[in-house]
Amino acid sequence: MHVEAAGLYFDYSKNRLTHATLALLCDLARQCGLPERRDAMFRGDPVNATEKRAALHTALRAPKGVKVVADGVDVVPEVHALLDRMADFARQVRNGQWRGYTGKPIRNVINIGIGGSDLGPAMACEALRHDSHAGLHMRFVSNIDPADLHEATRGLHAEETLFIVCSKSFRTFDTLTNARAARQWCVAQLGDERAVANHFVAVSSQAQAVAEFGIDTRHLFGLWDWVGGRYSMDSAIGLSTMIAIGPDNFHRLLAGFRAMDVHFQTAPLHHNMPVLHGLIAVWNNNFLGAETQAVLPYSHALRRLPAYLQQLVMESNGKHVTASGQQVPRPTSPIVWGEPGTNGQHSFFQLLHQGTRLAPCDFIGFCRTTTGQAAQHDLLMANLFAQSEALAFGKSGQELRDEGVPSEQIAQRVCEGNRPSNTVLADELSPFTLGALIALYEHSVFTQGVLWNIDSFDQWGVELGKVLAKRIAAELAAGDGAAMAHDSSTNMLIRRYRANASASGDLP
């Protein structure tokens, strides 16, 4: 029970299933139309049904010469034209040719975005720090809490700092609020609004809004409607990643994505890594009743991976109706959580081994370290293999008695085992490997969505809170005289906030 593809080795033998189970799950996938839906996605059909859009993130890593059509247009030439522009800009920043307003080279790059405009590049830059430019410091701002931007700019000089503002619509409230504050910080230091042209670039589909902000549209890197935010880290949203690791490594990242795309598109279902990963997730969720999925990278560099996958999985498949609007008759997305391996062992692994809830795990590890400290890396990997073995096989009361454990401690020390896990193993954490790993999860999410008959590419559930927040923000700005029409709890919370914030001078 293992499969290899795109430089990844996927061991799924420590799950509660047999070959017969897998054969039935593959039959289920065929009955749900997975091969046809997969082909439709790669073809550029509008698989995002509610928004009537294609989901062509796979075109972002298609090599030149491959034809991918959306709305009658081959998009691959456009993708490569944009990649060439990104590469030219990245080289200018990396070699010091791009200068700030006072003529100094850029030493700090701050990406301003949220959700898919932040989580992917933040995770990738952290994961590939070993491959990054030593003289450039990458920082990321997403939270509308002013403390986030304050910490990101602490100790920096505006004349050496470049901001990348990432927002497809250029209307995202959190991102634009932070971008305006960053512009104020920059202009306050440099004393001239014209400095914005040297210190701000944008990733967006809205040229007019970018120009109104004050960013020269020559420094605009575009996005397409057929790229969803959580699938966009290999689009222009990855500009910060390309600056950090360089264009050549960014293309290696794309090659890893592409290798897994080709495997997903061509391998038989029973030997298809993303399909098997997705089917096992459905099996654990719907048949075994597991409500969560732990992601446990035994790599400090991948410590942001669980947060990235939280959005990819839960924003994609956290749906309660089918693509046709009917109530889904079964649970959909698992709740994704996790931490780097040995850190988690000293916090929540107790629950994994002896808790009353079933929590399937994905272990991720690498055969070689990028630090050169092979002996210590051996200890890290010994822990990975030990934890997956312990979850699977546990320790019985008889084994404990044979070891001489006092009888009064037997019950407390028994580990039942039979707790499912997958292990993904690669030679080393490289740009290629990271691309393949992310594509594995992208296509696993798609597989799960097809079996649940939901639209994995829309996200209407995030809109309601945004609308209410804008309304409440206006009420807070209006002060005590503003009328409120919320529920009694929300009205009281707003009143209490007004009273205490105005007492400290923070509100008018």
Kindly state the DSSP code that residue 495 receives in the 8-state scheme.
Answer: H
Q: Where are the alpha helices (DSSP H) in 201-314?
A: 207-213, 239-245, 247-266, 273-282, 305-310
Residue 219 annotated to the active site? no
Task: Please name which of 206, 201, 241 lies closest in space to residue 223, comparing C-alpha atoms.
Answer: 206
Q: Is 169 helix (H, G, I), strand (E, B) or coil?
A: coil
Residue 130 annotated to the active site? no
User: Considering 126, 315, 339, 475, which one is annotated as catalytic?
Assistant: 315
The enclosing H or E element of 69 equals strand 69-70
The enclosing H or E element of 29 equals helix 19-31
Kindly state the DSSP code that residue 269 receives in the 8-state scheme.
Answer: G
User: Considering 19, 346, 403, 463, which one is annotated as catalytic?
Assistant: 346
Q: Is 57 helix (H, G, I), strand (E, B) or coil?
A: helix
Distance CA 278, CA 261 (A): 15
Task: Please name which of 280, 264, 262, 281 lies closest in space to residue 272, comparing C-alpha atoms.
Answer: 264
Cβ neighbours for 474, distance < 8 A, ≥ 6 positions apart: 482
Task: Please name which of 100, 111, 62 lies closest in space to residue 195, comparing C-alpha atoms.
Answer: 100
Distance CA 468, CA 318 (A): 21
Own/partner contacts of 76-82, CB < 8 Å, gap of 24 or more, are 78/224, 82/221, 82/222, 82/235, 82/236
Question: What is the β-pairing status of strands 292-297 and 421-426?
Answer: unpaired
Residue 389 annotated to the active site? no
Torsion sign over Cα 406, 410, 412, 418: positive
Which residues are designated catalytic? 315, 346, 466
